[in-house]
């Protein structure tokens, strides 16, 4: 990138990562435009007026102000784009409906998959930009011999965000830059101090940006139609009815605390039946599953799936070895995974991502779980 001046649109969240990405590209001599996507208006959410409410966010008004100040500091034009309606339909409504079905969604993946990159690339094209850059910790490698782009893990294993980018396509990778992919977080902080950025020591945004106090259930109950809440029984895996519950949205597979059952041994949520409203619990061994079926399976490029690969079934999980089997269906390509060893807490609604070493091959949503 340093040898040829480009016009680059940088998505600036107000955090240190995207700010450093913009500053580095400007320092390299590129024509940089900063953009913040306004996704969620906290002033319209009465909870945000509660002084005890906590938003650990990446898209608040303060974050927009930080992004604007950084843009002014490094001398680049800055714009705010309003995508609140799209965020509501593609992320918030998706999040709510999935929990109401007894599934566990990942809104950050949904935001990247169905919202951010499409809009950023479209706006970049309208502004005559050559590329879009973000602060993701991931890398892109191009093979001229194969005319192929590959998505790779970030160098910093603790910050790697390649999991969230499994839905990238060849067309997107050709127009996207990840300037921080080869850096550690400590190096990024150092650059932020060097540039004198206002957010150089800003804390990380760790929770879902639109959920106050990280209280999923309360948020869902506030935004859902009361008639859509599914109540029912809590049952042991042996069939014994243990209690009643007031909503399957309050449970997720693998959950131990907050089930509301006294037991002299640890019990975990093992699976949820949205059709009957039954939440099943059991001892830890009931959490082990042999595999699952993908929904919306996607490959970044054609890959031979006949060999075993590493599969991450949640962002912070260790990868597990497994094989992927594909078959045509009326809805397109259907794919299922069989693990070499049963895995704990395979959760419908979560994202599973397929890796070959450092390379992300693709992934999709976990749909049906295969029992041992």
Active site residue ranges = 111, 209
Q: What's residue 54's pLDDT?
A: 41
CATH architecture of 7-213: 3-Layer(aba) Sandwich (3.40)
Q: What is the pTM of this model?
A: 0.90
- The pLDDT of residue 73 is 97
Residues ≥6 apart with Cβ < 8 Å to 351: 106, 109, 163, 166, 314, 315, 363, 364, 365, 366
- Domains of the chain, by residue range, sit at 7-213, 230-282, 288-371
Q: Where are the beta strands (DSSP E) in 237-287?
A: 241-245, 268-273, 278-282
**What does the pLDDT read at residue 206?**
65
* pLDDT at position 48: 40
CATH top-level class for 288-371? Answer: mainly beta
Superfamily for 230-282? Adenine nucleotide alpha hydrolases-like domains (2.30.30.280)
C-beta separation of 346 from 307 below 8 A: no
List average pLDDT for each run of 10 residues in the chain, which is 372 residues long.
81 96 97 93 50 46 90 97 90 93 90 86 95 97 96 97 96 97 97 96 78 85 92 96 96 94 93 96 96 94 90 94 81 83 96 96 93 70
Can you say whether the dihedral through the CA atoms of 203, 63, 42, 246 is positive or negative?
A: negative
Q: What is the pLDDT of residue 113?
A: 78
pLDDT at 52: 43
Residues 139, 152: contact at Cβ < 8 Å?
A: yes
């Amino acid at each position: 990138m340093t040898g040829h001046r480009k016009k680059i649109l940088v998505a600036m969240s107000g955090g240190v990562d995207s700010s450093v990405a913009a500053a580095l590209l400007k320092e390299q001599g590129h024509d940089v435009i900063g953009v913040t996507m306004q996704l969620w208006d906290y002033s319209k959410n009465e909870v945000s007026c509660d002084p005890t409410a906590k938003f650990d966010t990446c898209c608040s008004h303060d974050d927009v102000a930080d992004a604007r100040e950084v843009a002014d500091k490094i001398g680049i034009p800055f714009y705010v784009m309003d995508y609140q309606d799209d965020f509501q339909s593609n992320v918030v409504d998706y999040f709510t409906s999935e929990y109401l079905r007894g599934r566990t969604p990942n809104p950050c993946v949904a935001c990247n998959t169905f919202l951010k990159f499409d809009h950023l690339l479209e706006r970049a094209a309208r502004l005559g930009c050559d590329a879009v850059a973000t602060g993701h910790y991931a890398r892109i490698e191009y093979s001229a011999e194969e005319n192929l782009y590959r998505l790779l893990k970030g160098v910093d294993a603790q910050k790697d965000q390649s999991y969230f980018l499994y839905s990238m396509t060849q067309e997107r990778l050709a127009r996207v830059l990840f300037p921080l992919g080869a850096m550690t977080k400590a190096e990024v902080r150092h650059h932020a101090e060097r540039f004198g950025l206002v957010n150089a020591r800003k804390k990380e945004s760790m929770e879902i940006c639109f959920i106050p106090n990280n209280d999923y259930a309360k948020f869902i109950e506030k935004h859902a139609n009361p008639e859509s809440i599914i109540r029912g029984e809590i049952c042991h895996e042996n069939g014994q009815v243990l209690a009643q519950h007031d909503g399957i949205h309050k449970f997720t597979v693998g959950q131990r605390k907050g089930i509301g059952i006294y037991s002299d041994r640890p019990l975990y949520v093992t699976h949820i039946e949205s059709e009957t409203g039954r939440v099943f619990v059991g001892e830890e061994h009931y959490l082990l599953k042999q595999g699952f079926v993908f929904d919306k399976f996607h490959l970044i490029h054609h890959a031979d799936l006949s060999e075993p690969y590493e599969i991450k079934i949640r962002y912070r999980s260790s990868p597990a070895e497994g094989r992927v089997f594909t078959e045509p269906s009326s809805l397109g390509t259907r794919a299922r995974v069989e693990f070499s060893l049963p895995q704990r807490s395979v959760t419908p609604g979560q994202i599973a991502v397929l890796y070959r070493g450092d390379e992300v091959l693709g992934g999709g949503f976990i749909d049906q779980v295969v029992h041992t």
